[in-house]
Amino acid sequence: MLRLAIAGDLHGQWDHHDDALLEQLAPDALLVVGDLADGDVRLPRRLRALQLPVACILGNHDAAKDRSGSTIARMEQALGSLHCGWALRLLDPPGLAVVGARPGSAGGGFHLSDAVKAHWGEMSVFESAERISAAALAAPKDRPLVLLAHSGPSGLGSGAADPCGRDWKRPARDWGDQDLQEAILRIQRQRPLPLVVFGHMHHRLRQGQGQRRTIHRDRHGTVYLNAACVPRHRVDPQGNPLRHFSWVELAEDGEIRLVAHRWYGPQGELVEDQMLLEQIRLRC
């Protein structure tokens, strides 16, 4: 059984409590969905120092409003091999294949920011989809495959409360990435894809609209998980620090056994446990 801790959009929120908590929880791997620290390279370097396998994708905020591409280039360099945009990262142990989607995405179909074009170059939606799917199809078929994205794919619904639904402007619409959707379709034709993990679209909807639906399963059995609990740091009524991680457990054959959003206390105690897999089972 592989146990994955997933950190939603960090926005600079990572400290010694997170480091200590991961030591106590001892997941098999940590996945980070981007928007790390608005161009501050200290956080990527801190992730590199963790004593467990880590895979990370950069988000749109990691360019820090720098259109030249130099800031996002520094963030990628600081992450080193942890960054898996358009690439395959094999985590050994635990025997997991992680493929990154398009880095720097702000959702909305397919749009390359000036920073992304300056650093990674121009490309079409199909060229980006080909890079993602080619990396995924190069992964060993005897390992579970996880796609790691900043923005999720299009096709998960067009309501404001859907996993990638636009909630800040009416009318609501699907704000997912079209290249990621195309890549997923190509991958599913040739191999199982148990899990797609992403962030960007915060769980708490704007203008008091409530909470976003954060899990979806398609007809192929692929589970889509939005991990963007923001902010992911808070305190309890006694002032003790609480930290959020999404948590996934999957068997070596790729069958997903558990999906949850969890808040942990300073000693690693589980304070809140929102079990998600039952939600999609009830809908199927």
114 backbone dihedrals φ, ψ, rounded to 5°: -60, -40
Per-residue pLDDT averaged across 118-131, rounded?
98
Predicted confidence band of residue 281 (pLDDT cuts 50, 70, 90)? low
Two structure tokens written together for 96? 């997991």
Q: Which of 147, 165, 144 is nearest to 251 (CA)?
A: 144
Maximal C-alpha separation, the chain: 52
DSSP string, 139-198: S-TTS-EEEE-SS-BS-S-SSTTSTTB--SSSSP-B--BHHHHHHHHHHHTTS---EEEE
Confidence at residue 151, expressed as pLDDT on a 0 to 100 scale: 98
235 backbone dihedrals φ, ψ, rounded to 5°: -125, 155
State the DSSP code for 220: T
Confidence at residue 279, expressed as pLDDT on a 0 to 100 scale: 63
In angstroms, the Cα distances linking 172 to 82, 91, 164, 263, 283 are 34, 38, 10, 30, 23
Packed helices 178-188 and 125-137: angle between N→C axes, nearest 10 degrees: 40
Strands lying side by side in the sheet with 215-217: 88-91, 96-100, 145-148, 195-198, 223-226, 215-217
Confidence at residue 284, expressed as pLDDT on a 0 to 100 scale: 40
What domains can be seen in the chain, in order of their start residue? 2-283 (3.60.21.10)
Query: Is the previous residue joined to 140 through a cis bond, with omega within 30 degrees of 0?
Result: no
Give burial (CB, 10 Å; 0-12/13-18/19+) of 154: buried
Confidence at residue 277, expressed as pLDDT on a 0 to 100 scale: 83
CA distance 115 to 70: 8
Per-residue pLDDT averaged across 265-283, rounded?
82
CA distance 141 to 137: 8
CA distance 25 to 264: 10
**Residue 282 predicted with pLDDT over 50:** no
Which has the higher per-residue pLDDT, 90 or 281? 90
**Residue 132 predicted with pLDDT over 90:** yes
What average pLDDT does the structure give for the chain?
A: 96
In angstroms, the Cα distances linking 161 to 75, 153, 172, 174, 202 are 31, 15, 9, 10, 10
- pLDDT tens-digit readout, 182-208: 999 999 999 999 999 999 999 999 988
Give burial (CB, 10 Å; 0-12/13-18/19+) of 198: buried
- pLDDT tens-digit readout, 208-260: 889 999 999 999 999 999 999 999 999 999 999 999 999 999 998 899 999 99
CA distance 266 to 263: 10
Query: Is the previous residue joined to 93 through a cis bond, with omega within 30 degrees of 0?
Result: yes
pTM reported for the whole predicted model: 0.96
- pLDDT tens-digit readout, 96-120: 999 999 999 999 999 999 999 999 9
CA distance 20 to 32: 17
